[in-house]
Amino acid sequence: MLTLFTVLQVMCALGLIVLTAVTTTKSEQSGSGFGWGTIGGKSSSSIAGLEDQLGRLTMYVAIAFLAISTIVGVLAFRAG
C-alpha cells in the first residue's frame, strides 16, 4: 500500500514539474505566449483558455500531491 502511494506521489511530483515548466508567467506573456511561435498555423497566444486550464490542472495536481504526501507520511509512520 505504501509503495502504491509512493509511486503516485512521484507521478504527481513529475506532473507538477512539467506543468510548472510549460506554464508562462505574467512577464512572459508578451509576444507569442509560450515562446513557441506558432502551433498549427496559429499563434500560441490565440489558443483560448489554455493558460486557465493549465492553471487549474496545476492546482489539482498540487492538491493531489499534498494529499498523497500526507498519506505516505502517515503510512510510513505507522509502518516504522
Question: pLDDT confidence of 52, banded at 50, 70, 90?
Answer: confident
Tell me, what's the pLDDT at 8? 97
Tell me, what's the pLDDT at 77? 96
Q: Across the chain, what does the average pLDDT equal? A: 82
Tell me, what's the pLDDT at 51? 85
Average pLDDT of the segment spanning 24-53 = 61
Cα–Cα distance for residue pair 46/39, rounded to 1 Å: 10
Q: Show the DSSP H helices in the chain as ranges.
A: 2-22, 50-79
Whole-model pTM over 0.75: no
Cα–Cα distance for residue pair 80/37, rounded to 1 Å: 52
Closest residue by Cα to residue 51 from 74, 28, 70: 28
